[in-house]
Amino acid sequence: MKTIDELLAAGVAGRRVFVRADLNVPLDGTTITDDGRIRAVLPTVKALADAGAKVVVASHLGRPKGAPDPAFSLAPVAARLGELLGTGVAFATDTVGDSARETVAGLRDGQVAVVENLRFNAGETAKDDVERGAFADQLAELADVYVGDGFGAVHRKHASVFDLPARLPHYAGYLIATEVDVLKKLTEDVRRPYVVALGGAKVSDKLAVIDELLGKADRILIGGGMAYTFLKAQGHEVGISLLQEDQVPAVREYIERAEKTGVELVLPVDVLVAGEFPDLKTKAPAHPTTVAADAIPADQEGLDIGPETRKLYASKLADAATVFWNGPMGVFEHPDYAEGTKAVAQALVDSPAFTVVGGGDSAAAVRILGFDENAFGHISTGGGASLEYLEGKTLPGLAALED
Catalytic residue set: 37, 202, 360, 384
Q: Roughly how many angstroms between the first and final C-alpha of the chain, as a whole number?
A: 6
Q: Count CA within 13 A, CB hemisphere, residue 121.
A: 25
Q: DSSP assignment of 331-377, as one string?
A: -TTSGGG-HHHHHHHHHHHH--SEEEE-SHHHHHHHHHTT--GGGSS
Q: Do 24 and 33 contact (CB within 8 A), yes or no? A: no
**In 3-state terms, what secondary structure has residue 287?**
coil
- What is the Cα–Cα distance from 364 to 280, expressed in whole angstroms? 15
- What is the Cα–Cα distance from 153 to 397, expressed in whole angstroms? 7
- What is the Cα–Cα distance from 129 to 170, expressed in whole angstroms? 20
**Cα-based torsion angle of the residue sequence 205, 211, 214, 217 in order, rounded to the nearest 10 degrees:** -50
301-305: strand order across its sheet: 289-292, 270-274, 301-305
Q: Output phi, psi for 326, to 5 deg.
A: -140, 115
Q: Do 145 and 168 contact (CB within 8 A), yes or no? A: yes
Q: Mark residue 133 as left, alpha or beta (left: phi above 0; alpha: psi -120 to 50; beta: remaining).
A: alpha
Contacts of 262 (CB under 8 A, 6+ apart): none
